[in-house]
Amino acid sequence: DASVIFAAWLGENRLQYMANGLRVLEIGAGLGVVGLAAAKILPSAHVLMTDYDPSVLDVIETNIAANFAEKCMRPQTGTLDFRDFSPVSRAEATEALARGELPAGPLRKHVEAKQLQAFDLILASDVVYDSYHG
């Protein structure tokens, strides 16, 4: 239910986010309700919808195809497991940042591959899931 409420909130507050070229990241997208709504409500936004489960990403791709014409700007999908925390210590991370480098860790490869860049808006709704919930 939170994703439906969040999508409605985005609709009601869309004027705050109408900048051209807005970069939007949705983490833990699930079925993609919030990301799909953001892409419809903010048609000039670049929306990246992420999840860690490949089968969930397949469902999101199906939902994108069902809701967006091929010739219009469509949301993109990508694998991102934000639960995968790096074993790097705080001291090592601080030292790397002081040298102007990214700390080692699982998200670094996404940044280096230009899959994760700066985002203007990060969306997350119902992001905690485990098989015992379903």
Q: Name the pLDDT band for 118 (thresholds 50, 70, 90).
A: confident
What is the tens place of the pLDDT at every residue in 6-24? Answer: 999 999 998 888 778 899 9
pLDDT of residue 129: 62
Which whole number is the average pLDDT over 97-117? 69
Mean pLDDT of the 106-123 span:
72
Nearest CA among 35, 49, 48, 44 for reference residue 6: 35
> Which tens digit of pLDDT belongs to each residue from 77-92?
988 776 665 556 677 7
With contact defined as beta carbons under 8 Å apart, do 29 and 35 qualify? yes
| Mean pLDDT, the chain, whole residue set | 82
- State the alpha helices, DSSP H only, in 13-104: 33-41, 54-67, 90-98
Core vs surface per residue 55-85: b (16+ CB within 10 A) or e? ebbeebbebbeeebeeeeebbbbeebeeeee
Please determine, for residue 114, whether its predicted confidence score (pLDDT) is greater than 90.
no
Interior angle at CA 36, CA 30 and CA 38, nearest 5 = 120
Q: Poorest-confidence range of 32-41, 61-70, 96-105, 116-125?
A: 96-105
More confident residue, 14 or 107: 14
